[in-house]
Amino acid sequence: MTTQTTLSAPLYGASFPQAVSRFFRKYATFSGRASRSEYWWWVLANTLVAVAFNALGPVTDPQWDSRPVNLLSPFAAGGSFPLASPVGVAFLIYATAILIPALALTWRRLHDTDRSGAWFFIVFVPIIGAIVLFVFTVLSARPAGARFDR
């Protein structure tokens, strides 16, 4: 027997399809919380999409190996810009389309750990910032995080 959880509440134990669906249904929602499963299933889905783009790149562009899409930062490409191929253009459109919802999901994940979403900006501190943000997203939920629900 399954129970329905409203979109405003975090969905603990979310399945892969549920997490991806909630990611798009809460497109630009910065309030509320996101469970670890919601967050990490989306990270996996996004990684699979990036891998697929990189797998398709050499099929459409023989020089793809000299400018693959960067998994962590699609806007920072070594050598020539990824717009030189149709797959690069498609990935750039995809990356732009998910930029706001990915930020919103991370913001909500930080809320679930009882931290302000503004902690996201620690990622701009070289090396240490990304590690701190990673640790925050891995931490378990804190009941006090409910203060971010509306």
Per-residue 3-state assignment (H helix, E strand, C coil) for 86-146: HHHHHHHHHHHHHHHHHHHHHHHHHHHCCCCHHHHHHHHCCCHHHHHHHHHHHCCCCHHHH
Q: Region 56-81: what's the mean pLDDT? A: 62
pLDDT range class, residue 83, cuts 50, 70, 90: low
**pTM of structure:** 0.83
Three-state DSSP class for residue 62: coil
**By mean pLDDT, which of 16-20, 52-56, 120-124 is the weakest?**
52-56
Asked if the model's pLDDT at residue 1 lies above 50, the reply is no
Q: Which has the closest alpha carbon to 18: 2, 31, 29, 1? A: 2
Q: Region 21-33: what's the mean pLDDT? A: 92
Residue 128: what pLDDT? 95
